[in-house]
Structure 1
Amino acid sequence: MTIKPTRPFTLTFIGIALLEMLGDSLDIRVLHYGCKPLIMALLMLYVWQFCQAVGFVSYIRWLLIGMLFALLGDILLMIQEIDLFAAGLGAFLLMQICYSIAFLKSIQAGGQTITSRRLGKSVTPFGLYLIIFLALLRPVFVGKPDLEVLWWPVVIYAICLNTMGLLATQRQDIPGYNQVVIGALLFILSDSAIAVNKFLSSFGGSTWLVMTTYATAQYLIMIGMIQQVASNVPEKP
């Protein structure tokens, strides 16, 4: 069995994401506040309806839990009246952990194992990126009490983020591999853009870059993971 989102679903998802970015960049709060939670809510609804029809498996359950934390993170970070960055970071940290568990369980369900050779091919680029990224951020946090309290949470988050990306690359020979890997890499790009804009140097168009990569990442990860479920469902005669 193969699975491909319908055109109306995809267009609706794109439309909601575009309206959210428009609302955020133009400070139209009714669009920003109304559409941002719908990005993850729509993806969660899609997964829920699909699995109700074919059955739930452990890695999809963990994916859904992670998506729920992503929804919570989106809500916390979109609120502009108070600074909830730390709380939002915590919600997305839990999302990264849940996605990592989902990837591990999907590897097991696919009859694959993480070999040292396969892991070694991927760990170096992720490790180098993590070191360079943190080295660039560290000077910004030094000597600033309001930022120093965030340093270790940021470090832990960056480690979990790159671990999620690393585990996505270990799903080789499993249906949906390409979508999940591309999605994970786009997620890293999105979060890196957030960090650069918030801590290093704000830049024009950051909202569009962050949200385009984020929404695409979540969409691809979702589609890739349910492809694995669909591959185990027999075709109807």
Structure 2
Amino acid sequence: MNTIPPDRRFALLFALVTGLELVGDLAPIRWLHYISKPLIVGLLLAWSWRHRRVGGLPMTILRISLVFALLGDVFLMIREVDLFGLGLASFLIMQLGYCVVFRMRGAGQSVSLPTAGLLALPFVVYAGIFLLILQPTFRTTPALNGLWTPVVVYIVCISTMGLLAALRRGQPGYGPVLIGALLFMASDSAIAVNAFLTPFAGATVFIMSTYAAAQYLIVTHIHPTQ
């Protein structure tokens, strides 16, 4: 079972929209930021809808997941009101959806149990170390107390998503989807570091570029042709 190759014109359009989002956010040009950021996932949702006749239930779940990603982008884009909790919840639902899609699209089918254990190790280590790094900040900052449990759940979920992508070894689109999952983890890790530990130069460019690339690679390489 092969996957649908992304159209080159679509790839260029997606790259253009991502570039406009970075310009809008950095300049800042608020109207450009508010239009281009939702378009990143919006374009992928439209691409997936265009190929809705293939893929069945897993791709329906993928599109539902993208809707929650779109909501998460909108919630986190609005800075006049603190909607971080809603954004986190939206992306958590998206991550759960991606986990289901990866499992339905072959995760674990071509991997032995010992190999699965080895593949799981770096993701377990990542989650454990990252939570240990974040915990002191959450423990000593009263305003963050209510977010600790959701953050723990989210990090466990995104680590599971990365593992399930790794367990798709031998399946169509394996390499790009795995790279996309790892980029997603890198993007979300950078968000946490920038928000809860220490802001760093270039955070916006790194976070948005890795996020956009992650979504593009996952969505355009997980679709079956039949």
- TM-score relative to the length of structure 1: 0.91
Cα displacement string for residues 17-40 of structure 1 (whole angstroms, at most 9, x for unaligned residues): 111111111121111100011001
- The one-letter code sitting in structure 2 at the alignment partner of 1:192 is S
Measure, in 2, the Cα distance between the counterparts of 1:2 and 1:63: 15
Identify the residue that residue 164 of structure 1 maps to in structure 2. 161
- Unmatched 5+ residue regions in structure 2? none
Q: Secondary structure at the match of 1:162?
A: helix
The alpha carbon displacement at 1:114 in A equals 5.6
Measure, in 2, the Cα distance between the counterparts of 1:7 and 1:120: 37
Identify the residue that residue 119 of structure 2 maps to in structure 1. 122
The alpha carbon displacement at 1:142 in A equals 1.1
The question of 1:98 aligning with 2:103 is answered no
Q: Secondary structure at the match of 1:94?
A: helix
- The one-letter code sitting in structure 1 at the alignment partner of 2:58 is Y
Structure 1 pair 18/63, CA: closer, same or farther in 2 (3 Å)?
same
Identify the residue that residue 15 of structure 1 maps to in structure 2. 16
Identify the residue that residue 28 of structure 1 maps to in structure 2. 29
CA contact (8 A) 2:99 2:160 kept: yes
Identify the residue that residue 59 of structure 2 maps to in structure 1. 60
The alpha carbon displacement at 1:2 in A equals 5.6
CA contact (8 A) 2:194 2:203 kept: yes
Q: Secondary structure at the match of 1:107?
A: coil
Cα displacement string for residues 156-195 of structure 1 (whole angstroms, at most 9, x for unaligned residues): 0000000000000111111100011000000000000000
Measure, in 2, the Cα distance between the counterparts of 1:132 and 1:83: 27
The alpha carbon displacement at 1:143 in A equals 2.7
Which of 209, 212, 219 is matched with 2:209 structurally? 212
Which of 181, 184, 199 is matched with 1:202 structurally? 199
Measure, in 2, the Cα distance between the counterparts of 1:140 and 1:182: 30
CA contact (8 A) 2:3 2:222 kept: no
Worse-superposed segment, 11-20 or 117-126: 117-126
Structure 1 pair 132/2, CA: closer, same or farther in 2 (3 Å)?
closer
Measure, in 2, the Cα distance between the counterparts of 1:155 and 1:68: 23
Q: Structure with the greater relative contact order (CA < 8 A, sep ≥ 6): 1 or 2?
A: 2
- The one-letter code sitting in structure 2 at the alignment partner of 1:146 is A
Measure, in 2, the Cα distance between the counterparts of 1:165 and 1:148: 27
The question of 1:112 aligning with 2:113 is answered no
The alpha carbon displacement at 1:51 in A equals 2.5
User: In angstroms, what is the RMSD of aligned CA positions?
Assistant: 1.5
- Unmatched 5+ residue regions in structure 1? none
- The one-letter code sitting in structure 1 at the alignment partner of 2:93 is L
Identity %: 47
The alpha carbon displacement at 1:6 in A equals 2.1
- The one-letter code sitting in structure 1 at the alignment partner of 2:70 is L
Identify the residue that residue 155 of structure 1 maps to in structure 2. 152
- The one-letter code sitting in structure 1 at the alignment partner of 2:66 is M
- TM-score relative to the length of structure 2: 0.95
CA contact (8 A) 2:14 2:43 kept: yes
Measure, in 1, the Cα distance between the counterparts of 2:111 and 2:59: 20
The alpha carbon displacement at 1:211 in A equals 0.4
